[in-house]
Amino acid sequence: MNPFPIEESQAAQPQAVHCPIPSMKFTALFAIALQALGVLAQQWPLHDDGYNQVVQWDHYSLKVNGERLFFWSGEFHYWRIPVPELWRDIMEKIKAAGFNAFSIYVHWGFHSSAPGQLDFETGAHNFSRIFDLAEELGLYMLVRPGPYINAETTAGGFPGWLLTGEYGASLRDNGTKYTEAWTPYWDAVSRMVAEHSVTNGGPVLLQQIENEYGEQWANVARRTPNETAIAYMELLEKATRDAGVDIPFLNNNPNLGSKSWSFDYDINKVGGDTDLYGLDNYPSCWSCNLAECTSVNGFPPDFTTFDYYTNFQQTAPTQPSILAEFQGGSYNPWNGPQGGCLNTTGVDWVNVFYRNNIGNKVAGQNIYMLFGGTNWGGLPIPIVGTSYDYSAPISESRLLTDKYSETKLLSYFVRSAKDLTMVERAGNGTTNYTGNANVFVQALQNVDTGAHFYVAKHTNTTLTSYETFKLSMNTSVGQLQVPRYAADIALNGRAAKILVADFGFGNEKLIYSTAEVLTVSLQARPMIVLWVPTGESGEFYLKGARKGSIFRCDGCTNVAFHQASEGLIVSFTQNAGMTVLQFDNGVMAVLLDRSVAYTMWQPTLSANPLVPLNETILVRGPHLVRSAEVVDGTICLTGDYSADEATELEVFASQVSGSGWQQGGSWPQDGSWDHGPQNATTVTWNGKSIPMRPTRYGSLIGSLTPPNTTIASLQSSIPALKSWLSADGLPERLQSYNDSGPAWVAAENTTTLNAWKPATLPVLYADDYGFHTQNILWRGRFTGQEATGVFLNIIGGTSSGWSAWLNGIFLGSSLGNVTLSETNATLSFPTNSSVSGENVLFIIQDHMGHDETTGVLNPRGILNATLLSPHNNAAAAPTFTSWRVAGNAGGEHPLDPLRGPYNEGGLHAERLGWHLPGFSPITNSSSSSTTWTPSLPPTTALTSPGARFYLTTLPLNIPSDIDASLAFILTAVPTAKATVRVQLYVNGYMFGKFLPYLGNQIEFPVFPGILDYHGDNVIGLSVWAQGGEDGGGGGGGGVDVAVKVLGVVGNSLEPGTGTEYLRPGWTAERLQYA
């Protein structure tokens, strides 16, 4: 069966069906609905986009082919993990965590190095396999192609060639030149979306138009339209429809106040509205440096949750409440801590803030980021470094964190709580629900079934106090104060809970539970899994049961069964472990503490993203369960497992179904789920048969033997980096250097279209000459010895730096800092440094990426270059006679299209390909003046300012039955804050930028596929010693390099296999760029 079924009729509808509400204002209808839950459920209009009825929506949720969907999504960026073979790994981890969707930004600049050029074919530029994988795995997609994406990437994803001013003074408007620029890219991506949309049998559910563009209103309160922004949005929307996209459009408002692009709020129909309103929010700051958020939102409060409910009901009451981008972590700026700030948005944060969103009647959430990845090459904006780990649930090194496990607990609940997709807020408060003023409850009720969801948290969420309470619940058997027998419900520190009443699963019902529901599985018998924090108590009331038995008690105490009018009440305390209860009505209840809940997995047996609960099984124990399939009575599992010790594997498999999902299927009326191969007794793990023994409660238990490789043993097998060769990395500083070759462009423009005009001419903006990323080299000439110095004002973005030489003699450096985008210095010429003939001033500047939002057009280059004369006599000062500039080899037509436009800058080593596999210092030397020497390691500090390039080989032979995460550890010498700028190259990819005196990142993970796990790896280091800002200070330092094993798991993927094509080698055309 097609997991993304196509509606029988796909003919485009003649009009959009954003149905009006007859003779009622939105707010009035909403108030009535609150007073009579369930009565007016059908009075909310059912919308579609006018082009299909496969995807519809109303006040409650999205609907796909008539079935309600809680849109539960996480973000990852394919261009931040440029190994297509690893996308499966990330996407399987997303699916395994219980998500039904994921989101990607498409990066215009990554795909377009020059006007008229688009690359969707080479390497990671070809992301078509993501659509195929999404369909295979059963994940919906939200595609967000910008054209502007922000994302802490250079120019917010705009290509470098767009940034000269030629395409408009502001961009992101309806200007003709800008429109002509984005149209080919937008059309190409939209056609991919159309091909892979759910309406065409594919996985793409939604397409976002623009990003964080809350510009619809010149005055929000008065709804005064911003005509330019509206025209821009309508151009994008029309172009998307013209490309054949017929799925709904979503927007992503950057804050609670902008209220843009909602057809509900746009009561005057000024235009530009998208089908669905989305909100973007980072309640605890998007940066590890909280001060970065202060200028936008004020200082972020500590652990304070927000009210989104009011905003959604004011702005989009007839639509589902969708957080199109919600905080999943924070990026780490240059001065942030090594490893990021995981604790700021850690396990307790996930527990409280995501539950608070559900309490706010949110019916869709996209977590940014679920996997962050790496800012390799020139991808980042100036304020961030190489790591884009983002403190995400899946770490940059692809390892799973406790945050992943905590997120999974809620994901499984959301997936199993089908009634969450049609709820109203039934109330909220403190003592009216709990009798404890320190506990606040948000109550939701399903308007059809009457199911209730109570979200309990601290009234003041900054508190870490231990609070206990009984909860007043509205149930089908009346108003109850619960628990009746167990210890009171507890909030231990920063914690929240979602507790249910009249929770249906199959034909069964929990009348209430004071333990949280983890999940439900409906195979041969209904199973409900409940969990509590370790050592806490719980109580649940199971309708229809009269007798219960304890089949397993691991960590349980105080288990008791209590007769009640409608069934059986069970009270318990659960310490570390698992308890299994069987009831006479056929229901099995599994009770877990948090530690064991983290090890519980629920793989699906079909590729239906809506995940019918009779198409899942439960597996306990492994590090990760990627997939499950039932074949002729055998349960075939794939996944990862511990490399350190044997792992107990338990599969709840009695009478498990093997049939596929059937569209239009329904629950069996007789309560039986015996509709497939029964009594599965054999299990395979990654293709190998595992001896299993049955338990008395119907599961199978076996053991996974760890692989022969551990972190320690693999670490000991990786050789130290040695046998270095090195060469001068900056021969361009020398007066004798020949800059007449194709690497160099005459910088002779006397005008620029950039609105930021330079103080001196010619224009020395790198973008104007086709160089848009990383290190930029400048050579300026002047004649005679009259000049006594030079004043330089150089802009490279925050944390940028530069160094200058005259005729090969060092003048000084600007080390840069994390707050200044441009820096200036007056440099004196040493005695005898100038000559009577032609003099050459050489400058290397570190281009740290382009700014975002309104700063995308800020130039990179030299704003002012003024020669100084004795006694500051400007009239007598000489002037520069010419300038030349060099950047990456080929400029906008890079010689290495597979690695793409951001991988290389203008360093001598980069232009000549010294960092590439296949380069030989002996046979591929650029010129007779290049001298490669057996070198002391790069730990030996340079004795004078300059740059040196180091080269060595790292042989690897990683066993194929493990997934190992490796990183390079860089340490500055002789001091931890040495003034060096270091770039790390691995098989041609620039995978680490190390600024020890500005930043704290020392650990640089590198993906398999970039690293060859079964061969020799070319490792390069550019070490630029800046010396002192006054022309002194010695060489600045060196760097120590080591390889560290971050993690090892047994695995079935064989990561890095088939990736040879991602490591293209050196070619002779590089020689001309000397």
Would residue 426 be called left, alpha or beta, if left means φ above 0 and alpha means ψ between -120 and 50 degrees? alpha
Higher pLDDT among residues 107 and 1056, named by residue: 107
C-alpha 735: how far from chain center: 46
Q: Which of 924, 925, 948 is nearest to 935 (CA)?
A: 948
Structural domain contains residue 695: yes
Structural domain contains residue 671: yes
What is the percent of the chain with per-residue pLDDT over 90, rounded to a whole number?
85
Q: pLDDT by residue (tens digit) across 592-622?
A: 999 999 999 999 999 999 999 999 999 999 9
Q: pLDDT by residue (tens digit) across 188-224?
A: 999 999 999 999 999 999 999 999 999 999 999 999 9
Q: What are phi and psi of 870, to 5 degrees?
A: -55, 140
pLDDT at 300: 63
pLDDT at 1052: 85
Q: What is the mean pLDDT of residues 1043-1058?
A: 93
Same domain, 168 and 77: yes
Structural domain contains residue 716: no
Joined tokens for residue 984:
């790390």
Higher pLDDT among residues 19 and 101, named by residue: 101
Give residue 871's pLDDT band: very low, low, confident or very high (50, 70, 90).
Answer: confident
Same domain, 700 and 740: no
Q: Is residue 7 over pLDDT 50?
A: no
Q: What is the mean pLDDT of residues 869-876?
A: 77
Torsion of CA 381, 384, 390, 391, to 10 degrees: -170
Q: Is residue 1030 over pLDDT 80?
A: no
Give residue 628's pLDDT band: very low, low, confident or very high (50, 70, 90).
Answer: very high
The answer to whether 653 touches 683, Cβ cutoff 8 Å, is yes
Orientation of helix 347-359 relative to helix 402-416, angle to 10°: 20
**Can you give the residue range of the structural domain that contains 768?**
731-886
Give residue 679's pLDDT band: very low, low, confident or very high (50, 70, 90).
Answer: low
Q: What is the mean pLDDT of residues 8-33?
A: 37
| HEC string for 552-566 | EECCEEEEEEEEECC
Least confident of 212-221, 385-394, 467-476, 672-681: 672-681
Same domain, 814 and 741: yes
Same domain, 876 and 946: no
Least confident of 20-24, 236-240, 800-804: 20-24
pLDDT at 42: 53
Q: What is the mean pLDDT of residues 787-799?
A: 97
Q: What is the mean pLDDT of residues 475-500?
A: 98
Structural domain contains residue 1035: yes
Q: What is the mean pLDDT of residues 477-491?
A: 98
Calculate Rg over the CA atoms of the chain. 31
DSSP letter for each residue of 956-990: ----TTEEEEEEEEEEEESSTT-SEEEEEEETTEE
Strands of the sheet containing 452-458, edge to edge, are: 423-429, 439-446, 452-458, 496-505, 508-513, 536-543, 567-574, 556-564
Give residue 11's pLDDT band: very low, low, confident or very high (50, 70, 90).
Answer: very low
The answer to whether 608 touches 3, Cβ cutoff 8 Å, is yes
The CATH number that applies at residue 488 is: 2.102.20.10
Structural domain contains residue 897: no
pLDDT at 23: 33
Q: Is residue 805 over pLDDT 50?
A: yes
Same domain, 558 and 682: yes
Q: pLDDT by residue (tens digit) across 399-440?
A: 999 999 999 999 999 999 999 999 999 999 999 999 999 999
Length in residues, the chain: 1074
Same domain, 346 and 429: no
Q: Is residue 956 over pLDDT 80?
A: yes
Q: Is residue 40 over pLDDT 80?
A: no
The continuous run of DSSP H or E covering 27 comes out as: helix 26-35
DSSP letter for each residue of 441-459: EEEEEETTT--EEEEEEES
Give residue 940's pLDDT band: very low, low, confident or very high (50, 70, 90).
Answer: confident
Higher pLDDT among residues 174 and 653, named by residue: 174
325 is catalytic: yes
The answer to whether 63 touches 57, Cβ cutoff 8 Å, is yes
Q: Is residue 696 over pLDDT 50?
A: yes
Same domain, 155 and 201: yes
Out of 689, 705, 721, pick the residue that ends a domain: 705
Give residue 31's pLDDT band: very low, low, confident or very high (50, 70, 90).
Answer: very low
In the three-class reduction of DSSP (H, G, I as helix; E, B as strand; rest coil), residue 704 is classed as strand
234 is catalytic: no
The answer to whether 430 touches 441, Cβ cutoff 8 Å, is yes
Give residue 21's pLDDT band: very low, low, confident or very high (50, 70, 90).
Answer: very low
The CATH number that applies at residue 804 is: 2.60.120.260
**Residue linked to tokens 């058997």:** 477
Q: Is residue 929 over pLDDT 70?
A: no
Same domain, 374 and 452: no
Structural domain contains residue 632: no
How far apart are the C-alpha atoms of 793 and 813, rounded to whole Å? 12
pLDDT at 927: 56
Q: Which of 325, 732, 822, 910 is catalytic?
A: 325
Number of neighbouring beta carbons within 10 Å of residue 940 = 19
Q: Is residue 30 over pLDDT 80?
A: no
Give residue 942's pLDDT band: very low, low, confident or very high (50, 70, 90).
Answer: confident
pLDDT at 1059: 97
Out of 358, 374, 400, pick the residue that ends a domain: 400
Structural domain contains residue 726: no
Same domain, 880 and 915: no
DSSP 657: -
The continuous run of DSSP H or E covering 597 comes out as: helix 594-597
Q: What is the mean pLDDT of residues 100-114?
A: 99
pLDDT at 660: 30
The CATH number that applies at residue 335 is: 3.20.20.80
Q: What are phi and psi of 373, to 5 degrees?
A: 90, -155
Same domain, 823 and 915: no
pLDDT at 295: 64
For 202, counting Cβ atoms within 10 Å of its Cβ (0-12 exposed, 13-18 middle, 19+ buried), the class is buried
What is the percent of the chain with per-residue pLDDT over 70, rounded to a whole number?
92
Q: What is the mean pLDDT of residues 636-661?
A: 77
The continuous run of DSSP H or E covering 489 comes out as: strand 489-492
Q: Is residue 725 over pLDDT 80?
A: yes
Q: pLDDT by residue (tens digit) across 307-320?
A: 999 999 999 999 99
Q: Which of 212, 215, 539, 852 is catalytic?
A: 212
pTM: 0.94
Judge if the upstream peptide bond of residue 762 is cis by omega within 30 degrees of 0.
Answer: yes
Q: Is residue 338 over pLDDT 80?
A: yes
Tally of domains within the chain: 4
Same domain, 465 and 331: no
Q: What are phi and psi of 160, to 5 degrees?
A: -60, -35
Same domain, 699 and 767: no
Computed over every residue of the chain, the mean pLDDT equals: 92
